[in-house]
């Protein structure tokens, strides 16, 4: 349990809760605590889905500018490497991950949200990559994950201008998956997480890894990755249970552990 990042478990769903007043700025300590939280939820087999949440007011206003401003080149390289590594740990959580966003998700805050599988936004949420206005560029995955998600031209518009994007536009360009009234953001994320929590966990992990790794490689390599995961699932009880249930009871009736 970190000072600024808590893991709260309720049933099969864990919430990684950022809580660093006033804006959940991601300083070096928060980076370390995010990495620890990602390791904790990844390693706990009872947790079947994860929500990343910054509370009712703000998701995260980015890396801590006051901490970063005085750093030199070498120190900044190490700082960015730690933040990237922490966010990679979130992207690598082998379970469905949903970012529940109220208020601002800017800079490193949006980059954290880009590491989730889905993004639920409150109606008045604002997201963006404002680093250009600080004379720098996104340094925690924004130039890589954002274009992969919304395409290069839209990502360039957001990164070149640094403008804040409202929830409705975020939905239209695929940056948000769902927009709900602000007060319902966390519950909407829980409802989404619950949809994925009861399926076969090993198959779900294989699907996530095949999709995410596949997006990083050429099609032939991606198909190799898919086929190897597919075949390996024949070593699981879920495969036997799932196919037996189909043959005995028809589609969609299997109950998984």
Site residues, ligand CAA (CB under 6 A): 22-23, 25, 61-66, 83, 104, 106-108, 111, 130-131, 134, 138-140, 142
Cβ closer to ligand CAA: 20 or 190?
A: 20
Cβ closer to ligand CAA: 65 or 194?
A: 65
Torsion of the alpha carbons at 237, 242, 248 and 253, rounded to the nearest 10:
130
Q: Which residue is nearest to ligand CAA (CB)?
A: 107
Strand order in the sheet with 178-180: 5-10, 13-18, 49-53, 97-101, 118-122, 178-180
Q: How far is the CB of 73 from ligand CAA (least distance, A)?
A: 15
Q: How far is the CB of 169 from ligand CAA (least distance, A)?
A: 17
Told to judge if 40 belongs to the known catalytic residues of this protein, a careful annotator would answer no
Cβ closer to ligand CAA: 54 or 242?
A: 54
Q: How far is the CB of 91 from ligand CAA (least distance, A)?
A: 15
Q: Is the dihedral of CA 62, 67, 69, 74 positive or negative?
A: negative
Which of 56, 67, 111, 237 is catalytic? The answer is 111
Residue 83 makes CB contacts below 8 A (sequence gap 6+) with: 26, 31, 63, 108, 139, 140
Told to judge if 3 belongs to the known catalytic residues of this protein, a careful annotator would answer no
The SS3 call for residue 199 is coil
Which of 131, 184, 237, 248 is catalytic? The answer is 131
Q: How far is the CB of 65 from ligand CAA (least distance, A)?
A: 4
Whether residue 149 contacts residue 174, with contact meaning beta carbons closer than 8 Å, is answered with: yes
Catalytic residue positions, numbered = 111, 131
């Amino acid at each position: 349990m970190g000072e600024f990042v808590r893991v709260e478990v309720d049933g099969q769903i864990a919430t990684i809760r950022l809580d660093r007043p006033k804006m959940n700025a991601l300083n070096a300590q928060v980076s370390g605590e995010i990495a620890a939280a990602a390791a904790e939820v990844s390693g706990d087999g009872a947790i079947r889905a994860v929500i990343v949440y910054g509370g009712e007011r703000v998701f995260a206003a980015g890396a801590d500018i006051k901490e970063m401003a005085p750093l030199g080149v070498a120190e900044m390289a190490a700082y960015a490497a730690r933040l990237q590594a922490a966010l990679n740990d979130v992207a690598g959580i082998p379970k469905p991950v949903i970012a529940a966003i109220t208020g601002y998700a800017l800079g490193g805050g949006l980059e954290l949200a880009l590491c989730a599988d889905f993004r639920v936004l409150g109606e008045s949420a604002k997201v963006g990559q404002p680093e250009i206005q600080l004379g720098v560029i996104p340094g925690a995955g924004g130039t890589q994950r954002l274009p992969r998600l919304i395409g290069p031209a839209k990502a360039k518009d957001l990164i070149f201008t640094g403008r804040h994007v409202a929830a409705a536009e975020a939905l239209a360009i695929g940056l948000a998956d769902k927009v709900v009234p602000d007060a319902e953001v966390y519950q909407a994320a829980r409802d989404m997480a619950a949809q994925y929590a009861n399926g076969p966990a090993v198959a779900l992990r294989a699907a996530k890894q095949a999709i995410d790794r596949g997006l990083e490689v050429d099609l032939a390599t991606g198909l190799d990755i898919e086929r190897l995961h597919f075949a390996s699932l024949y070593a699981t009880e879920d495969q036997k249970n799932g196919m037996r249930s189909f043959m005995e009871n028809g589609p969609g009736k299997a109950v998984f552990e």
